[in-house]
Amino acid sequence: MNGLLKKIALYLVLTITAFVVFFPILYAFLISFMTGGELLQGNLFSKSFHLENYQKAFERLPLAHYLMNSFIISLSVMIGQLVVSSMAAYAFVFIPFKGRDAIFFLFISTMMIPWEATMIPNFITIQQLDWINTYQGLTIPFFAMAFGTFLLRQHFKTIPKELDEAAQVAGISRFKFFVKIVVPYCKNSLITLGAYSFLTTWNMYLWPLLVTNNDSVRTVQIGLKQLRTQELATDWGVVMAGVVVVIIPTLVLLFIGQKYLQKGLAQGALK
Q: Which helix (H) or strand (E) holds 23?
A: helix 2-31
Binding region for other proteins (CB under 8 A): 160, 162-163, 165-166, 168-173, 176, 180-181, 184-185, 270-271
Closer to other proteins by CB, 98 or 271: give it.
271
Q: How far is the CB of 35 from other proteins (least distance, A)?
A: 55
Closer to other proteins by CB, 185 or 260: give it.
185
Q: How far is the CB of 154 from other proteins (least distance, A)?
A: 18
Q: How far apart are CA 69 and CA 231, in angstroms?
A: 24
Percent helix, strand, coil in the chain (nearest 5)? 80, 0, 20
Closer to other proteins by CB, 8 or 166: give it.
166
Q: How large is the greatest C-alpha to C-alpha distance in the chain, in angstroms?
A: 75
Closer to other proteins by CB, 173 or 213: give it.
173
Q: How far is the CB of 170 from other proteins (least distance, A)?
A: 3
Q: How far is the CB of 72 from other proteins (least distance, A)?
A: 32
Q: Which of 229, 227, 226, 240 is nearest to 25 (CA)?
A: 240
Distance separating the N- and C-terminal Cα atoms of the chain: 35
**Please, are residues 75 and 143 in contact by the beta-carbon 8 Å criterion?**
no
Closer to other proteins by CB, 59 or 165: give it.
165
Q: How far is the CB of 168 from other proteins (least distance, A)?
A: 5
